[in-house]
A and B are shown apart, each in its own frame.
Chain A
Amino acid sequence: MFTDARTIPAGTTLTADVCIVGAGAAGISIARELAHSPLDVCLLESGGLEYDLDTQQLYRGRSVGFPYFPLEIARLRFFGGTTNHWGGASRPLDDSDFEARDWVPHSGWPFRREALDPYYRRAHGVLELGPYAYDAGSWTTDERRPLRFEGESLRSAVLQQSPPTRLGQVYREELRRARNIRTCLNANLLEIETAPTGGPVTRLRVASLERNEFYVEARAYVLATGGIENPRLLLLSRRADPAGLGNEHDLVGRFFMDHPIAAWGKPGTVAPYRFPLRFYAQRGRAALTAGGKSGAAELWGFITPTAEGLRRERMLNWGMAVRRAPEPDPEGVVAARYLRDSLLELDWPEDLFEHVASVMGDLENVAERGWYAMTGRERPAERIQLMYWAEPLPNPDSRVYLSEERDFFGQRRVVLDWRLSEHDRLNIRRALQLLARELGRAGIGRVRIDPAVAEGDLRSLFEGSFHHMGTTRMHADPSQGVVDRNCRVHGVPNLYVAGSSVFPTAGHANPTVTIVALALRLADHIQERMKVTVVDAG
């Protein structure tokens, strides 16, 4: 059932077993799971079913650190959340991303990748991905072969492409029909209320843009509003502690991370001797080739370090994509293509003789291109461009905090202070050197590192990825994390946080599939915990 919060009278109290705040990747995934349970669920969404400028403006904020996108466009505030504009690239975190690494301060999740594997598999269904397989070997065919690295430092892997699933569209009807779920649109959370002495959340104070304040009381609450809004809402909730809810150790909002990207060509280029580009440069549907399994996925390959390579080089995790550098088509090839298209459309070509002369004057190129087109063989690239993205270093000084500026409701907006450092430069430099070494060793090509990598302004080298992570980090120890291994806020027995804000480290992979996997895991946990409570009460 969908309800428009603008029609709820001020002072009303809605009740539910579970209240989920935010209908994005995490919130919708949890709600769908609970749709099959006996629990009454209230799903609050700030926006409506479509983009609305006034609501979107609630996301405005200031950026004072490393240059970042305007905060009101870096995420979306309507049903479906930021999945309304995500690109769909998907990959789980690597095993090593979960480990505590002595060369990565503050690293280590409270559980290993295996604990998340069943949920990653289920997340594949939610995001309409292919089989849960990301190693290059599972997707190798005669036509699409990855590079063979002789050393033990690098490997090839794949990213899968979701359609991309717009969760707010794909699952809208399912949620509308769910009898135990009330989706409350245009409902903005203003405060998470507790007793003045702390303890559990007692209720949520909510309002629409009509300023009709109302309340939601539930047995459990899930904050699922993204990596910037999650800490903001905790910091705005000060009934028990002026520092904010769950912020006893000054961790809420700290450790903001985004994946730094060096866009195509910025890291450098490769002069190839022989480079099998198809595996990497052609996004396309591929069939699973691993023994005994079947299925297909839209995917493309990339290069990344092995766990051993990371350990040996003491690096942050990273990925490198490759593509053919843009090459202007030779004049004769352009003319031949024009003549072919004209003839296929039974259209008499303009300047026929001029085009024929161009073809005749450039026969070598025309013949070469024609041969590759006819045989389906891969035409060697003259130059290959690189794109790099990396795991961000967890840094407590990289953070989100409250500004003195106020939004429509008089609530303090956020300030984002994103930090990158020379460590990020060292990482990309080392990654390129490693790639150069392995490509040279295999006789595949030579790497040219762009001068900006060595000494240029980091701001001209890197940009963000719209991945907001780490601001309510997960750690078993309350002095090192905001939430525990079950995503429950330390010290608040009925408040959970969902989404990438709980990532203690972020790997290099796009976060959405991990967000959904963690959300499904949290949904299981809540159901289990509620069941126990019901039994106890009975």
Chain B
Amino acid sequence: MKSLARRKLLQHLVLAALLGALPASLRRAGAGARAEALAARLTGCLSDAGGAYRLGAAYLVVAPEEADRARLALHIAGGAARARALARRDTPDLRRWLRGRQRRDFAAGRTVEVAGWVLSRTEARLCALVALARRQAAGG
């Protein structure tokens, strides 16, 4: 009796682990897709793509570990949950949020020097998104 109960318990635990792991990987795949979608939306918020590209390329030289569009989008959003929420906003609203985020960056000292420009970390990452998009488009 005891042995049967233990076996059942183990079966239940394996099943539960499988049930839990499957949605997690699905969730991760979904999150990646949403972050990529947000990255595209964020890129569209910039008005001077040429200038952003140059600054973004320079930023990726000093922060090569961030050369990933989904990761950059998640950094900018500040997490997966907010990325989901941001992806649902319209462009003017997203721009407003970005302006506020940049100001908060400056207030908190989250700045980075890129080609001499003192930028908020958020806008440097936005520029990096543009640079990566161009690289992808160019097949690089």
Contacts and interface: CB of A to CB of B under 8 A. Distances in A.
Contacts of B102: 440
A506 interface: no
Contacts of B119: 440, 446
A443 B105 CA distance: 11
B116 A440 contact: no
B1 to A, nearest CB: 69
B117 A440 contact: no
A140 to B, nearest CB: 24
A436 interface: yes
Identify which of B111, B116, B119, B120 gathers the most chain A CB atoms within 10 Å of its CB. B116
Given A150-B107, A443-B103, A437 B116 contact: no
Interface in A127-157: 150-151
A433 B111 contact: yes
B99 interface: yes
Contacts of B105: 440
Contacts of B99: 443
A451 B58 CA distance: 14
A268 B107 contact: no
Interface string B93-128: 000000100110111010101011111100000000
A450 interface: yes
A150 B113 CA distance: 22
A447 B106 contact: no
A249 interface: no
Give the bracket for the number of chain B residues in contact with chain A.
10 to 19
Nearest to A438: B106
Interface of A: 150-151, 268, 432-433, 436-438, 440-443, 446-451, 454
Contacts, number: 45
A432 B118 contact: yes
Contacts of B109: 437
Nearest to A440: B106
A433 B117 CA distance: 10
Given A433-B111, A441-B103, A451 B120 contact: no
B116 A450 contact: yes
A441 B99 CA distance: 10
B120 A440 contact: yes
Nearest to A437: B106
A440 B111 contact: yes
B18 to A, nearest CB: 49
Contacts of B116: 268, 448-451, 454
